[in-house]
Structures are given as structure tokens and as C-alpha cells.
Amino acid sequence: MVLYVTAVVILLLLIVILIMVWLRKVQFDAVHRNFLDLVDHFGGRVIRGGFAVRPRYSGSFKNQRVSISISSENWQKERRFYIAVTMQSRAKINFSIISRDWLESREAEDRKKRHAVDLMDGRYLLEVSNPNQLKKLNISSLNKIVEKLHPFAYVLIAKTGIILERISTNLIKDTEFPTLNKLLENVYHLKAVVEK
């Protein structure tokens, strides 16, 4: 009898695991199809390594190299997905724009050596490593772009590129072409501002 109960429990666990893998695959298949819409409009390719592996888009947007990928983390006992957009750029200085909500959900970091300015009524924080760099940035233009990009977790701007990560509450809807096209357009506008 004990052997029978053990076998049933193991079988049920196996079925639950298979269902979870299948649901993940179905979700990533839908994201893959959404990325194929980007290929249809902008060219490029979708890269996917296997059965239930997250797809990535690699291509160009207005002659700038772009990639879009998905990452996840366990956060407060739930899985949180992020959509990451990287775009080639040539910024004059390195800086970051961080959502205060996202930052407060992280462990406290040593920010005493950083210099920051509030954007979008304090919802975002623009950080630089040197206070003289703030004088080189067009804060009002950055504030307007942040309003268009909202909501996002953070944007890292470097001399060779931009990385934006946005928290996704609905991965399939958030990777549909109209949503990603608008996001790419706004990242492109950010690129234009930081390259001035």
C-alpha cells in the first residue's frame, strides 16, 4: 500500500512538472511569434535555443543594432519577468535612470558616491558618478523621454549603447508588435537626446 501511494504521489508530481514546462513553452511560443512580427517589419532574426527556451530578437531599428530579450527573477515568492531592450548608441557620458519603486524593492546599496537628480516628479532617479556630468545632460529633454518610456525598471546609458529593462506583467501582451514598436521608438528618441 505504501509503495502504491508513493508511486501515485511521484506520478502526480511528474504530471505537475510537465504541465508547468508545457505552459512555459506555450508562453515562449507566443513571444516567439510576436518577435517574428518584428522580423517582418524590421528584418533581423529570432534566436531560440531549444524546447522551452526564451526567444531573443536581434535586428535593427532605424539603422541601429537592437536586441530584445527576456529575463526573470524570483521576487517576493513570485516569478517576475523583464523585457530588456538594447540599442547601439554613442552617448558622451555614462549614467543611469532608475525607477524608485524598483530601487526600493532591492537591498540597500551604497549610493553615497553617486550624484542624482529626480525625474518625473521623483518617480525616477538619474544617477551619474561625477557631479560635473549633470551639467552636460539636458535634464528637461530626458524628463520628457522618461515620461514616454514609463514604466520601466532602469535604463543604463553608456558610451556604446543603451540597455532598458521593463517589468512585464503580461509577457505575451507586452511583446506584441505595437507595444514593442512604441518602446523601440522611444528608446531611439532617448538615443538621440543622449548623443547631442
- The string of pLDDT tens digits covering residues 143-187 is 999 999 999 999 999 999 999 999 998 999 999 999 999 999 999
In this prediction, residue 106 carries a pLDDT of 63
In this prediction, residue 112 carries a pLDDT of 53
Asked if 35 and 41 touch (Cβ cutoff 8 Å), the reply is: no
What residues of the chain score a pLDDT lower than 70? 105-114
In this prediction, residue 60 carries a pLDDT of 93
In this prediction, residue 117 carries a pLDDT of 87
In this prediction, residue 26 carries a pLDDT of 86
Query: Is 188 buried (19+), middle (13-18) or exposed (0-12) by CB count in 10 A?
Result: middle
In this prediction, residue 11 carries a pLDDT of 92
> What does the H/E/C string look like for the chain?
CHHHHHHHHHHHHHHHHHHHHHHHHHHHHHHHHHHHHHHHHHCCEEECCCCCCCCEEEEEECCEEEEEEEEEEEECCEEEEEEEEEEECCCCCCEEEEEHHHHHCCCCCCCCCCEEEEECCCCEEEEECCHHHHCCCCHHHHHHHHHHHCCCCEEEECCCEEEEEEEECCHHHHCCHHHHHHHHHHHHHHHHHHCC
In this prediction, residue 113 carries a pLDDT of 57
What pTM value is reported for the model?
A: 0.84
61: left (phi over 0), alpha (psi -120 to 50) or beta: beta
